[in-house]
Amino acid sequence: MPLGRPSVGEPELAAVAEVFASGWLAGAGPACRRFEERFAKLTGTAHALATSNCGSALFLGLRALGVRPGDEVVVADYTFPATGHAVLQAGATPVFADVRPDSFCADPAAIEAAISPRTVGILVVDLAGQPGDFDEYRAIADRHGLWLFEDAACAAGASYRTRPAGSLADLAAFSFHGRKGITAGEGGALVSDDAELIERARKLHTYGVRPAYGRQTVPVFDELGYNFRLSDVQAAILTVQLDRLPEILAARRLVAKRYAEGFAGLAGVRVPEELPDRVHPWQSYLLLLAPGIDRDRAMDSLRARGVQCTIGTYASHLQPVYGGCAPCPVSADAFRRHLAIPMHAELTGEQVDRVIEAVRGEVHD
């Protein structure tokens, strides 16, 4: 049973055929613009930019915000290193903040403690798709005159106090990797209510000029840019995926409910919780194993039983690429103990039961 599986089929193939017939397969074309309009509405924002992946969206967002060498950015520690990497790629220094022991999103108190005179902004992560404490994050950012950036890689369809993920900060970046709720295999998006930030990012994502689609004049290259465009083939797939998002999220929620029921009373694991003022999209399902359980041995055994699994994500401050960093004990503990089990919309009830049985066989009371 795979850890993740995309929910794609004939509607996506038909959308690809339409792009083939149009003759425009390249990036940043008409299919991308249609997807951007739809995705901005989903996220409750005024503007969206389709990108090659979430890492490029994070980097473009930081560049659009004016991040430069010498700056510090406070970053949620418990995250795939793409978050911290984007800060390094922009020339700044990530300063990692520990996370809450329930949601594993950035702890507001830890963010406050990490701010220094060199801090220019705060980059927080919606862990497994569930947003963190954005009212508190915003209050901290405003108090210190900082920008707020949401790494919403896993969060399409999530919400915080009825506000959709993507609308909770000055900028937000999304991923459409194959394990995400909606996917084109790869891809990303940057969203914001700030038209200038998105237009700045749009110029940078096409070698420093306006994209060819809709351009009326010969461009002048007056600054260094990049090629971070999403192809129109991928955009067409993602537009269909937006139509299917409600059913995909409903299926994932059902799997999460069955898991919670199946692991009830099992002392060796703690199931993830959906906080009462949020909607969790369940991009991943992370079990927190009891301290005495060897997580890596359990992973090997589950894989031998045909159940794919992996770690939760990374305690960034422990990764050598970032050099010496202050400790983040909650994140470090989660890095050692989290176990990600299969979570996707294609899981059948029988498969969920098999996963539960396999985990129970490895994690004894």
Of 121, 22, 139, 140, the residue nearest 64 (C-alpha): 121
Q: Which two tokens stand for residue 151?
A: 């790494």
Check if 180 is active-site: yes
SS3 assignment for 57-92: HHHHHHHHCCCCCCCEEEEECECCCHHHHHHHHCCC
* pLDDT per residue as tens digits for the range 2-41: 999 999 999 999 999 999 999 999 999 999 999 999 999 9
DSSP, res 206 = B
DSSP, res 175 = E
Q: Which two tokens stand for residue 355?
A: 């996963």
Please, which residues have CB within 8 angstroms of residue 268's CB and are 6 or more apart in sequence?
289, 290, 293, 363, 364, 365
Low-confidence ranges of the chain (pLDDT < 70): 364-365
Q: State the helix-helix crossing angle for 54-64 and 195-204, rounded to 10 degrees.
A: 120
Question: Could you tell me the domains of the chain?
Answer: 10-241 (3.40.640.10), 245-362 (3.90.1150.10)
Alpha carbon distance 157, 282 (integer Å): 10
* pLDDT per residue as tens digits for the range 145-159: 999 999 999 999 999
* Angstrom distances, CA of residue 27 to CA of 39, 72, 202, 310: 17, 33, 12, 33
Q: What is the pLDDT of residue 213?
A: 82
Alpha carbon distance 98, 332 (integer Å): 9
Residue 164 φ then ψ, to 5° = -70, 145
In one letter, which amino acid is 211?
P
Do residues 92 and 67 lie in contact, with contact meaning Cβ atoms separated by under 8 Å?
yes
Q: What is the pLDDT of residue 160?
A: 98
Rg (CA), the chain: 20
- End-to-end CA distance of the chain: give it in Å, rounded: 24
- What would the DSSP string read from start to end of 223-236? S---B-BPBHHHHH
Do residues 79 and 85 lie in contact, with contact meaning Cβ atoms separated by under 8 Å?
no
Q: What is the pLDDT of residue 234?
A: 97
Catalytic residue among 41, 180, 203, 257: 180
Q: What is the pLDDT of residue 363?
A: 84
* Angstrom distances, CA of residue 341 to CA of 116, 307, 309, 314, 355: 38, 8, 5, 16, 8
In one letter, which amino acid is 5?
R
